[in-house]
Chain A
């Protein structure tokens, strides 16, 4: 019964809207654009924020990451030739941090060297990571075969390595990598473990480094982990850089020190201590402390602001669409004054008239809502495909958009419907 009524009312609404096709379509467009911009913007925002948060979270929320940065060059240095620029974190920094910070879980020194890794005739560019076994506690590295570096490896400076899955795939086409020896700069290292591919370590700070693209873009296949002691003995700490025709040499002991504290509460206190400690030990500002936890909080705040801005834009565009709808419905009501009079004369209650016009408005906005959802879901895909930006369409954004379009229909449809219902039947019947 009720269903029949609803069906009848909807059918009638469709008929009336169909009589003014162009007008209906134009009105719907207002809602389509509103809804589709809400969805598209939310998807792009969500994608960007998830991407950032995932990257930050991977750094570990209880970690403090200290990275070597090239100190700002002083003018006097430029003239001198044959000078080796010595800067950055040192083994003794790591030692000192470990001894000073009582509540640290682990302090992990990281050395990062760009090298070629060879097996027989195959050759891939890798990042050689010199570190200690406890690296696994600060970075969520997953060993899928064999083992990670051990304290024995470290103590005896053994020539062993753990390679990334991708490196393994590129070097060993059909062979079992475990136990084989790969060659890095003349020395052979026995493969003792294979790790699931994770972010390629970078020699500069992930968030501070401006040249992120240049460090990841060089066709580096992945990471190769070796004991830091081995790295210290076998690889020079001096690197040459060519810039503008003249070469400069730099000596850097460690690219990174990762400090892990017990829980989130201790992170900020630890940062202060670290800052003081390193201040005392370094004349130049050649290091940088990154705190993933702070970045996470920052990201959360940014996201909140982003949501507010998006919300306002969405609200405005839907408001405009809603006003358009109200305008059209008011015109419709006055055009159909006589029809309203007839309906009232044959027994329609005020509420019947309200339901009729409200359902027409809802039909417009919900159609607009559905179309908006479809178009709004396609746009992020295009952005992802052509703009190379991650997007995430959440179910809640679809529900929100649909709910808003329904809400706009009710809010902006109520007044015209109310006006229709309250017209005097006698006057309406006389209306031409």
Chain B
């Protein structure tokens, strides 16, 4: 079953009078449980695609079906709800909130979905244990190493049990050892049946992924199954 199906997806950025084609008529589908890497040189449209997949942005034309919902037609509020429930983000620079401790950061997506305090606290603890940070719940982000912060971010991404986990260069800021840990966790998630889409330059990730989509100038150049 396809979790994501994209048809003729285009995104044009208007820069003054000039329209820049970031994506041109991209078509692909992603099956549930796939582990996909999206690669390409900078300016190839990777980030644009990731933003569209993550429902942070709307396409100029084309369709994006996420679990049978046509996301391209939704308004801001509905997109926010989709982001909260169906998508988990992992960013290159972790993007944890400094004022909040580990548990609170993990609870954040659940808070916006209106989960009770008791249930979200419990789930935050489970998730922290899952990423190996069960003993760091009260720590603040700046007290953690980069690798640990990224693991908190993964736990946060999983908070509402999303349909897809989106990674934007998740190992980009990490040394190779920490990066390997992160990849291990992603691998584990994949084995547990999560759909994972990662935008990366890292060939190590690409090697682990089931399928690699290469973008060039806003089009799919290659789509390889490993």
Contact = CB atoms under 8 A, between A and B. Distances in A.
Interface of A: 1, 4-5, 8, 12, 15-16, 19, 338-339, 341-350, 352, 425-426, 429
A348 B80 CA distance: 6
Contact of A4 (B57, B112, B117, B156): B117
Interface stretch (B33-41, B65-73, B84-92, B199-207): B84-92
B84 A425 contact: no
Q: Taking each of A4, A8, A345, A348, which has the highest tally of chain B beta carbons within 10 Å of its own beta carbon?
A: A345
Contact of B112 (A12, A339, A349): A349
A139 B68 CA distance: 90
A429 B77 contact: no
B64 to A, nearest CB: 16
Given A339-B97, A346-B109, 14 more contacts: A1-B116, A4-B117, A5-B111, A341-B95, A342-B95, A342-B96, A345-B89, A346-B84, A346-B89, A346-B159, A347-B84, A349-B80, A350-B80, A426-B56
A347 B160 contact: yes
B81 interface: yes
Interface residues of B, number: 30
Contacts of A348: 80, 84, 112
B99 A12 contact: yes
Given A344-B80, A347-B80, A349-B81, A4 B116 contact: yes
A426 B109 contact: no
Contacts of B95: 338, 341-342, 345, 429
A346 B77 contact: no
Nearest to B57: A426
Nearest to B89: A345
B83 A350 contact: no
Nearest to A18: B99
Nearest to A7: B117
Q: Taking each of A4, A19, A341, which has the highest tally of chain B beta carbons within 10 Å of its own beta carbon?
A: A4
B112 A347 contact: yes
Does more than half of chain A's interface fall in helix, strand or loop, or is it mixed? helix
A6 to B, nearest CB: 12
Contact of B108 (A1, A343, A350, A425): A343
Interface of B: 51, 54, 56-57, 76-77, 80-81, 83-85, 89, 91, 95-100, 108-109, 111-114, 116-117, 156, 159-160
Contacts of B111: 5, 8
The 5 closest A-B pairs by CB, nearest first: A347-B84, A346-B109, A347-B112, A349-B80, A15-B99
A346 B85 contact: no
Q: Taking each of B76, B77, B111, B156, which has the highest tally of chain A beta carbons within 10 Å of its own beta carbon?
A: B111
A352 B112 contact: yes
A425 B89 contact: no
Contacts of A15: 99-100
Contacts of A343: 97, 108, 112
Contacts of B57: 426
Contacts of B56: 344-345, 425-426, 429
Contacts of B96: 342
A309 B168 CA distance: 61
Contacts of A4: 116-117
A342 B152 CA distance: 14
Given A8-B111, A339-B97, A426-B51, A345 B117 contact: no
A332 to B, nearest CB: 12
A1 B84 CA distance: 18
B80 to A, nearest CB: 5
A400 to B, nearest CB: 34
Contacts of B99: 12, 15-16, 19
Nearest to B88: A346
B108 A346 contact: yes
A345 B108 CA distance: 11
26 contacts: A1-B114, A5-B111, A8-B117, A12-B100, A15-B100, A339-B97, A342-B95, A342-B96, A342-B97, A343-B97, A343-B112, A344-B56, A344-B80, A345-B54, A345-B83, A346-B89, A347-B84, A347-B112, A347-B113, A347-B160, A348-B112, A349-B77, A352-B112, A425-B56, A429-B56, A429-B95
Given A338-B95, A339-B97, A426-B57, A346 B116 contact: no
Given A1-B114, A352-B112, A346 B83 contact: yes
A352 B111 CA distance: 10
Contacts of A350: 76-77, 80
Contacts of A1: 114, 116
A345 B85 CA distance: 11
Nearest to B118: A4
Contact of A346 (B51, B114, B156): B156
A343 B112 CA distance: 9
A57 B108 CA distance: 64
B93 to A, nearest CB: 9
Contacts of B160: 347
Contacts of A339: 97-98
Given A342-B95, A426-B51, A347 B114 contact: no
A197 B31 CA distance: 97
Nearest to B54: A345
A301 B135 CA distance: 71
A349 B160 CA distance: 16
B165 to A, nearest CB: 13
A341 B54 CA distance: 13
